[in-house]
Structure 1
């Protein structure tokens, strides 16, 4: 079985943005816990942790923080050069 892909660099950016939003709005992790129904450890793993997070968990935290997901994803990524699409490759 292949190892799960985890983009640690961008997860770190996302978590930093979530934490900055928490601090600026004075919303504690316990408040996020109350608003999401997640356990404290789940909230901590999403906002402060190092493991991969689910999209659903991230959306729930965005709702708890009263923000749109685009506020968390406001950064650029490097797009690699890819092979041509399969339909455009010569046999």
Structure 2
């Protein structure tokens, strides 16, 4: 089975934004635990860990931080140059 894809750089950006928001409104990991119903270890893994974040978990933390997810995702990533879609590659 192939290893799960994890974009560590992008996850770092997202986690930093979440953590900065938590600090700016003076919420601890325990406060976020209370607001989400997640265990402390789940909250830690989302905000401070290295593994992937589920979309549902991220949205729950955004709600706990009283911030819209689009604010957390307001950054750009490098988009590689891809080949055209398969149906357009017949003559390549």
- Displacement, 1:53? 1.0
- Displacement, 1:89? 1.4
Residues of 1 paired with 2:25 and 2:82: CA distance? 41
Structure 2 gaps of 5+ residues are none
TM-score with structure 2 length normalisation? Answer: 0.95
Residues of 2 paired with 1:71 and 1:25: CA distance? 15
Residues of 2 paired with 1:87 and 1:8: CA distance? 32
Structure 1 gaps of 5+ residues are none
In angstroms, what is the RMSD of aligned CA positions?
Answer: 0.9
Matches within 5 A, 1:49-68: 49-68=49-68
1:35 matched to 2:46:
no
TM-score with structure 1 length normalisation? Answer: 0.96
Runs of 4+ in 1 over 2 A off after TM superposition: none
1:44 matched to 2:44:
yes
Write the deviation string for residues 32-73 of structure 1: whole angstroms up to 9, x where unpaired. Answer: 100100000000000011111111100100011010001111
